[in-house]
Amino acid sequence: MVVPELRPWRVAGPHVARVAAAVRPRLARAATVARPRVTRLAQAAKPQLRRVTRPNTIKTWQYTAGAATAGLALAAGVVSAAGPWDATGQRTAEREWAAAQQRTGGADHGRAPRTSAVGPRPAPSAPTVLTGLGGATTAVQAGPKAPNLPGGKALAGVLGPLLKDPGLGARHTASVVDVATGRPLYGAGADQALIPASTTKIATAVAALSALGADHRFTTRAALEPDTRELVLVGGGDPTLTARPNAGGWAGLRALAADTAAALHKRGMRQVTLSYDTTLFPGPQVHPIGVNPNLAPVTALTADEGRTDGSSSGPAPRVADPAADATRKFADFLAQHGIKTTAPGPSKATGRAQTLATVSSPPLSALVERMLTNSDNDIAEVLARQTAVATGQRADFTGGGRAIEAQLKKLGLPLAGAAFHDGSGLDRADRLTAGLLTALLAKSGDPARPELRPVLTGLPVAGFTGTLSSRYTDGAAGVVRAKTGTLTGVNTLAGTVVDQDGRLLAFAFLSSETTDPAAAQKALDKAATTLASCGCR
């Protein structure tokens, strides 16, 4: 199996600067047109913010969705000035751009609160931004310009020939939807289910956010059994728990060890029996594809996704037992604080166990963004199981798939032909339709569902971030925002663009039986770029 989209994250400062310079003039024009509308929306949102805001609380409504309006958030040098993308997958640039407008943006997604007196206040509600740009346009060099014709004829005339590209293989389907109205604009086999590859993660994200809420956090705790002096490290299913010296805003195993040691010292304890509890996720840990560098064994307790090479995304060598590995590291950190432990083994914390210390992940919204931007399989599989836990399903691969399907059914999404066998899309038995993918994206832009907004803000941005960082450098860089999908013989793309009329469009292109991945990617990118350059009906 080949998954070329999942490459380790690399900081590419010169590349970003080069692309930013190329797109800056036309994005600046878009920002200038849209600025009065954004200002009005921000002013309208202020009364709501005053009513809802509570100290030290970050809520879903604090998101700005400048991200979903693609090029708008990258206006006039923001990218090169604001620096690289942060660890959550949410652009520093787009938060700061929103913050500059009336100082009403800049939510930090679970990071430590800003201490500067001039720092931005919480961002206005995302839905108002997502409904459109009020006529703002972003000129894109590549792609034909088609006239506006009634009944969707122009769009069909432009996309139809592009989707017949031989690079897209023997089977391919497509769907385009106006996000603001939900109106289908184009469909070619949109109800035919094909292998979705990593675009499955869009469904996983929607299901997890709807079941748990965007503000949900996963907690890892250290609990002491009072009768046996057994210290149990209890996994809470946080896929972003880290043992690195600098936790970078994620839950830190070192901090948990320090707090645990302090609690033990208060009790006069210097030595404990150490064990770990992973019972939150029962069932098989190894994905049906087998041991694979794209995914560690799925467990409720892991540090740094079981990676052994210091990477934070992409394929990597993994430890065979992530829970045991994390607990051994925890023991080493305890030892640094004067606590001796036995060699750790599996156990289960009883109801009598006293919690000594906890660490919690950033909000689920941040995890979803990181998952989508980096196409992180480990986060995806854990979120599928967390959805199962939240909805009463068995937290294994099968139960996760059932839970995802059940949540999407509750949202009224078109599930005919869909099949979910995992949360990441690595299972070739998964099936999705282009129509379902665009429905998922449109639902994520629904003003009535603000908790789903991270699905849009987490999508990779063409030419800048994640799995699209090396694509679109000569076309719609900064304008197309999409989730990629690649397996052997399968190439998919689903995301959003803002067209020449300022409409936010959701699109999905699925192709199977491809023989040249590079040619398939080029054809998909050309189709998405054409959408951005088209004022088609």
Where in the sequence numbering do the catalytic residues fall? 198, 201, 375
Q: Residue 248: left (phi > 0), alpha (psi -120 to 50), or beta?
A: left
* Chain Cα centroid distance, residue 141: 28
**CA atoms of 489 and 169, how far apart (whole Å):** 8
Phi, psi dihedral angles at 513 (to 5 degrees): 60, 35
Three-state DSSP class for residue 147? coil
**CA atoms of 240 and 370, how far apart (whole Å):** 10
Three-state DSSP class for residue 527? helix
What is the CA angle 212-217-221, rounded to 5?
130
Token pair 């930013």: residue: 20
- Helix, strand, coil percent content, the chain, rounded in steps of 5: 40, 15, 45
Q: What stretch of H or E contains 320?
A: none
Determine the residue type at 420: F
**CA atoms of 435 and 193, how far apart (whole Å):** 9
Phi, psi dihedral angles at 166 (to 5 degrees): -55, -25
Determine the residue type at 485: G
Residue 291: C-alpha distances to residues 2, 383, 495 (Å): 14, 20, 30
* Chain Cα centroid distance, residue 36: 30
Q: What is the DSSP string of 35-74?
A: HHHHHHHHHHHHHHHHHH--TT---GGG---GGGGGGGGG
* Chain Cα centroid distance, residue 483: 9
**CA atoms of 62 and 113, how far apart (whole Å):** 13
**Beta carbons within 8 Å of 434's beta carbon, 6+ residues apart:** 173, 174, 175, 187, 188, 189, 190, 192, 194, 494, 508, 509, 510
**CA atoms of 307 and 293, how far apart (whole Å):** 9
**CA atoms of 207 and 424, how far apart (whole Å):** 13
User: Considering just the CA atoms, what is the radius of gyration of the chain in Å?
Assistant: 23
**CA atoms of 141 and 503, how far apart (whole Å):** 18
Q: How many CB atoms lie within 10 A of CB 151?
A: 8
Tokens matching residue 31 = 């920002």
Q: Contact 533/464 with Cβ under 8 angstroms? A: no
Determine the residue type at 106: G
Q: Contact 394/503 with Cβ under 8 angstroms? A: no
